[in-house]
């Protein structure tokens, strides 16, 4: 993970790492390792964030968590950014119709963030995804399908600097990701055949903002045998149907600009 040179950039990086470790928290050493910061630097930033209410620390374990001030700021920004109230019903329908775990993720810069998880009735589940977890674009079903529907020039520029192979293995080499992008554009949805955790498969479909850009994704995850060739077509249809319906709902709910 590239470390921003400025203080605000580093603080933002620390907060994103903490978000990925909710609700159990992260130690100072874990924050340092995942941000690429020296441990004393990470500790100074965490302490400063705690003083401002942006981070909190468990007395019993010493683990760091997101702080209460972030909740208040998020509540203030919620009317402009939060569409989970629109997405919830679509995620629930996918979980009920398929029996798998269903998710709603949002693009944030070069990453996707899981915002909603709804478990289906099938008793064996994948636990790779949970609310708050982040993956780079091109990784996991949500990140791959969003990348697939970005303009060619934008997707190519991203892959040139992301170096996904170094972080996630040869299955995420640029050529391999480009092949999956091509397949996603032909099918309309993506398949993740256990590329992050062996045996944990997933599928995803993009959700578009009112300007036609891929900004969110709906996805399903489960064990390999639940994503066989005989079932993928039906799962893809369900994903595309709910993704289209959610895209339409978002477009209708877009607030009018103030005079």
CB atoms within 10 A of CB 138: 26
Contact status, residue 24 vs residue 41, Cβ threshold 8 Å: no
Q: Where in the chain is the domain with CATH 3.30.450.40?
A: 82-253
Residue 258 has a pLDDT of: 42
pTM of the model: 0.77
pLDDT band at 244 (very low <50, low <70, confident <90, very high): very high
Task: Let me know: does 258 contact 162? Beta carbons within 8 Å.
Answer: no
Which 3-state string (H, E, C) describes 115-131? EEEECCCCCCCCCCCCC
> Which of the four pLDDT bands, split at 50, 70 and 90, describes residue 132?
confident
Beta bridge partners, 214, equal: 208
Q: Which two tokens stand for residue 177?
A: 């990701």
Whether the per-residue pLDDT at 209 is higher than 80: the answer is: yes
Q: What is the pLDDT of residue 46?
A: 96
What is the fold, at CATH topology level, of the domain defined by 82-253? Beta-Lactamase (3.30.450)
Region 7-73: CATH code: 1.10.10.10
- In this predicted structure, the answer to whether residue 126 has a pLDDT above a threshold of 90 is no
Kindly report, residue by residue over 55-80, the tens digit of the pLDDT: 999 999 999 999 999 999 988 887 77
pLDDT tens string 145-180: 999 999 999 999 999 999 999 989 999 999 999 999
Identify how many contiguous H helices and E strands the chain contains and give both numbers. 10, 8
**What percent of the chain is predicted at pLDDT more than 70?**
95
């Amino acid at each position: 993970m590239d470390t921003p040179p400025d203080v605000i950039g580093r603080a933002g990086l620390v907060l994103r790492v903490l978000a990925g470790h909710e609700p159990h928290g992260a130690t100072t050493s874990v924050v340092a390792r995942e941000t690429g910061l020296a441990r004393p630097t990470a500790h100074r930033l965490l302490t400063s964030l705690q003083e401002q209410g942006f981070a909190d620390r468990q007395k019993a374990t010493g683990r760091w968590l997101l702080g209460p001030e972030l909740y208040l700021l998020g509540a203030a920004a919620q009317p402009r950014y939060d569409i989970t109230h629109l997405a919830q019903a679509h995620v629930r329908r996918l979980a009920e119709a398929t029996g798998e775990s269903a998710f709603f993720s949002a693009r944030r810069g070069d990453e996707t963030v899981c915002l909603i998880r709804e478990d289906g009735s099938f008793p064996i589940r994948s636990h790779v995804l949970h609310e708050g977890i982040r993956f780079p674009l091109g990784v996991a079903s949500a990140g791959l399908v969003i990348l697939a529907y970005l303009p060619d020039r934008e997707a190519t520029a991203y892959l040139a600097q992301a170096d996904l192979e170094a972080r996630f293995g040869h299955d995420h080499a640029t050529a391999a990701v480009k092949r999956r992008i091509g397949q996603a554009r032909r099918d309309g949805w993506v398949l993740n055949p256990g590329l992050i955790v062996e045996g944990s498969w997933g599928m995803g479909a993009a959700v578009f903002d009112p300007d036609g850009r891929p900004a969110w994704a709906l996805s399903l995850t489960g064990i390999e045998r639940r994503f066989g060739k005989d079932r993928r077509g039906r799962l893809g249809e369900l994903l595309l149907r709910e993704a289209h319906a959610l895209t339409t709902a978002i477009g209708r709910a877009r607030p009018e600009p103030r005079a």
